[in-house]
Structure 1
Amino acid sequence: MSGPKDYKYFLTYSGVRMPLKLVEPLGPDELGNRNTYFRATYDADGRVATCEKLVYGEVELSHVYAYRDDGTLSHARIELGDEVTDVDCDARGAPIRC
């Protein structure tokens, strides 16, 4: 059994590329007055591993990222409600369009 996750909290994100670029850090003590915020975990190399948008305490959107050895994004799993989308990425980390 693993211990509690080491979350970092953010007000929002910028850009449209994955992984999401989280901006405006929040301290855990700043969450009580927020209806919406993002929380993220990072891998051992400092890359975003998971990113969740919380709305009124419930996870509304979730991203889980996997990276290649060279640090480029290889895969993203996006969950929005009951919808799950798996996105494979090319050698530059850009989504592969079918």
Structure 2
Amino acid sequence: MKEQYQIRCYTSYSGVSLPLNLVCEISEQDLRNRNIYFQGCYDKDNRLSICLKIVYGETEFEHRYSYYEDGRLKQALISEEENELTTLNFDGSG
């Protein structure tokens, strides 16, 4: 069964920790006037599961997050535009 996501778009993110904290949500109408934005895909528990940075219609980077049952970050898969994949694993202790 394929997971369903709620997709929202933003102008930026704040902080340096993972998962990224997307800020300044933009409407679909305003999206047409933007060359650079972040697309967040949220799971049924409203956790950011996929984050894309879109630059002139191309994906510049992609983050995929998975979580422990208690909601803490378990893993981040980060791919850059050169298709280099970085895997970060978190131990659950916070």
Q: Fold-level match, TM-score > 0.5?
A: yes
Say yes or no: does 1:87 pair with 2:88. Answer: yes
Instruction: Write the mapping of 1:8-19 to structure 2, written as runs, cut at 5 A.
Output: 8-19=8-19
Cα distance between partner residues in 2 of 1:5 and 1:73: 18
**Structure 2: distance between partners of 1:91 and 1:84:** 22
Q: Give the secondary-structure state (helix, strand or coil) at the position aligned to 2:29.
A: helix
- After TM superposition, list the pairs within 5 Å mapping 1:1-98 onto structure 2: 6-81=6-81, 82-93=83-94
How far 1:78 moved relative to its partner? 0.2
Give 1:78's aligned amino acid.
I
Structure 1 unmatched runs, 5+: 94-98
- After the TM superposition, which segments of 4 or more aligned residues of structure 1 sit over 2 Å from their partners? none
**How far apart in 2 are the matches of 1:66 and 1:45?**
12
Provide the TM-score with structure 2 as the length reference: 0.90
Tell me the amino acid that sits aligned with residue 29 of structure 2: D
Q: Post-superposition shift, 1:7?
A: 1.4
TM-score (ref. length: structure 1):
0.87
Deviations 1:40-63 (A, max 9, x none): 111111110100000001111100
Q: Count residues with an aligned counterpart.
A: 93
